[in-house]
Amino acid sequence: MKPHPLGATFLAIAAAWLLIPSSAMGQSGQVSTTDILRERALADSTGYGLVEDLTTRFGARPAGSVSEAAAAHWGAGRLAAMGFAKVAIEPFPLRLWNAGTSSASVVAPGAQSLVVTPLGGSTGGSAEAPAAVFPTYADFIKSDAVVSSGKVVVILEAIAPARDGGGYSRALAMRMAGPGEAARRGAVGYLMRSLNTQGARTASSGATSPTDTAFPAFALSPPDAEQLERLSRAGPIRLRLASTAGWRGVGQSQNVVAEIKGSDTRAKPVLISAHLDSWEQGTGAVDDGFGLAVVTAAAKLIGDLPTPPRRTIRIVWFGSEEISQPAPVGSFAGARAYTDRHRTELANLALVAESDGGGGKIFQLAMAGREDSALVGRLRSALSPLGVGVSLTPPRIGGPDISVLQAAGVPALRLMQDATSQYDTHHNANDVLGQIDRAALAQNIAAWTVTLWLIADSDTELSPNAKP
């Protein structure tokens, strides 16, 4: 029997249909691009493969280091192989900071060592002096300067786990401004309980306001902070600190950029981002290999569609997010370099978004919009199966790096992650591949993919957000 001329076509369609999960079928029996993308994202292994490869090949990636540069070149190659267009590495100058070696110990009432790590941007030195112990940073600020003069200031304040990560943000001044304030009050050193929520005897790095003045400033492991609290109740404490941390000349970092080209050259592009660098501890798997994997996998899934979205999707892997620079650059050097280089393009961006909120599941999309907007309705429908709500209160800050672009007037959205356990691994030696929750990674990629697709394929323009 002669085969029917449409037989092969029918079989191909049937085979493709069978590959679509039943969960992607709407009540009408129709399958939307959004539904298909969500299901593909939940099953896709691209994201985990990226973070596994990144952390295995390069380990920690301090800003301006050989490993950060090597990871950037690897990343550019991977992006090109995935089908991204206009892949490029954009270098920028950087003052190089190195953690060196550090030690801290109790001299009296009895000798014992402490687990510490130097605060990023500090310049090391040595000191031996009595401790001026304060339960909270607010207690320190309210105290008379004479209490700290000639002493090692010790701040014992702990942060509590919170879904919105608010404990960390509220305590950030303790790390950023604390050492400088202690030095101004005549202190000879600074110890603060690490801004983390884990109980292991490991200290968490983090940036402070950069200085070239020798002044040992450390984050202290939580168990050691608790040990000092108990000792302080018994009587005076004498501490010894030593650090060789400091600035090591001028080098460079780099941003890695790429894009998925949209179908309408008149439509404003969307920019998504994460950061490539990490602290010297751990391998930067959660912070921010997780984020790189999420935005890259989401953009690739959209790029693999037979029909491109209306808007071009730009992707940036920012360099040097973690370590602040001396004035005039300040924090987020990679984002500032990108803003300077692409300043004339910023007004033409539809919005910016960033994945740098740890490794928890997304629970809410925060963006500007109207309740009666068709786009908002589609976003609610697409995100609901993932357990993600939609808030029409735009984020004050969409993320660390993109806060720089927001300040230049670009609207932002934020896919908010559950940060309850984020500060268990944040900036410490536990930030390794084994901490990646693969189910949370898949959920993040799915939420980003459908959000990005609906916005990139929409003709709705977002309202500018309030500047951070």
Tens of pLDDT, residue by residue over 56-83, are 999 999 999 999 999 999 999 999 999 9
Q: What's the CA gap between 435 and 438, in Å, rounded?
A: 9
Q: What is the CA radius of gyration of the chain?
A: 24
The answer to whether 57 and 74 have CB atoms below 8 angstroms apart is yes
Q: Please state the separation of Cα 386 from the chain's center in Å.
A: 22
Average pLDDT over residues 421-428: 96
Q: Residues spanned by CATH 3.50.30.30 within the chain?
A: 100-244
Average pLDDT of the chain?
92
Q: What's the CA gap between 152 and 66, in Å, rounded?
A: 35
pLDDT for res 338: 98
The answer to whether 90 and 69 have CB atoms below 8 angstroms apart is no
Q: Which residues contact 41 (CB under 8 A, 6 or more apart)?
A: 297, 298, 301, 442, 445, 446, 448, 449, 450
End-to-end CA distance of the chain: 72
On the question of pLDDT at 6 being above 50, the answer is no
Structure tokens at 336: 């500032």
Helix (H) or strand (E) holding 424: helix 422-425
Helix (H) or strand (E) holding 242: strand 238-243
Q: What's the CA gap between 224 and 242, in Å, rounded?
A: 17
Least confident span in 43-52, 434-443, 458-467: 458-467
Residue 28's pLDDT band (boundaries 50, 70, 90)?
very low
- For the stretch 282-307, pLDDT in tens is 999 999 999 999 999 999 999 999 99
Average pLDDT over residues 352-367: 97
Q: What percent of the chain has pLDDT over 70?
A: 92
Average pLDDT over residues 425-439: 97
Alpha helices, H only, 3-156: 7-18, 33-43, 46-58, 66-81, 137-142
Q: Residues spanned by CATH 3.40.630.10 within the chain?
A: 31-97+249-456
* CA neighbor of 274 nearest in space, from 219, 228, 319, 331: 319
What is the second-level CATH architecture of the domain 100-244? 3-Layer(bba) Sandwich (3.50)
Q: What's the CA gap between 445 and 438, in Å, rounded?
A: 10
Q: What's the CA gap between 171 and 221, in Å, rounded?
A: 16
- For the stretch 124-148, pLDDT in tens is 999 999 999 999 999 999 999 999 9
Q: How far is CA 158 from CA 53, 105, 170, 293, 422, in A?
A: 34, 20, 11, 31, 15
**pTM, 2 dp:** 0.92
Q: Which residues contact 433 (CB under 8 A, 6 or more apart)?
A: 51, 52, 55, 56, 283, 285
pLDDT for res 3: 40
Instruction: Quote the DSSP letter at residue 435.
Output: G
On the question of pLDDT at 154 being above 70, the answer is yes
CATH class label, 31-97+249-456: alpha beta
pLDDT for res 467: 40
The answer to whether 189 and 239 have CB atoms below 8 angstroms apart is yes
Structure tokens at 148: 């700290």
Strands 85-98 and 313-318: unpaired
pLDDT for res 371: 87
Least confident span in 135-144, 170-179, 354-363, 455-464: 455-464
On the question of pLDDT at 12 being above 70, the answer is no
Q: What's the CA gap between 62 and 324, in Å, rounded?
A: 12
Residue 15's pLDDT band (boundaries 50, 70, 90)?
very low
Dihedral (CA of 81, 86, 91, 97) sign:
negative
- For the stretch 80-121, pLDDT in tens is 999 999 999 999 999 999 999 999 999 999 999 999 999 999
pLDDT for res 462: 65
Q: How far is CA 226 from CA 231, 232, 350, 387, 449, in A?
A: 9, 10, 48, 38, 43
Average pLDDT over residues 163-172: 94
Q: What percent of the chain has pLDDT over 90?
A: 90
- For the stretch 211-235, pLDDT in tens is 999 999 999 999 999 999 999 999 9
Q: What is the DSSP string of 269-314?
A: PEEEEEE----SSS--IIIIIIHHHHHHHHHHHHHTSSS--SS-EE
Task: Give the bridge partners for 152, in sequence order.
Answer: 131, 189
The answer to whether 244 and 100 have CB atoms below 8 angstroms apart is yes
Residue labelled with tokens 């932002």: 412
On the question of pLDDT at 466 being above 50, the answer is no
Q: What's the CA gap between 167 and 159, in Å, rounded?
A: 5
pLDDT for res 70: 98
On the question of pLDDT at 454 being above 50, the answer is yes
Q: What is the DSSP string of 77-98?
A: HHHHHTT-EEEEEEEEEEEEEE
pLDDT for res 459: 86
pLDDT for res 350: 94
On the question of pLDDT at 4 being above 70, the answer is no
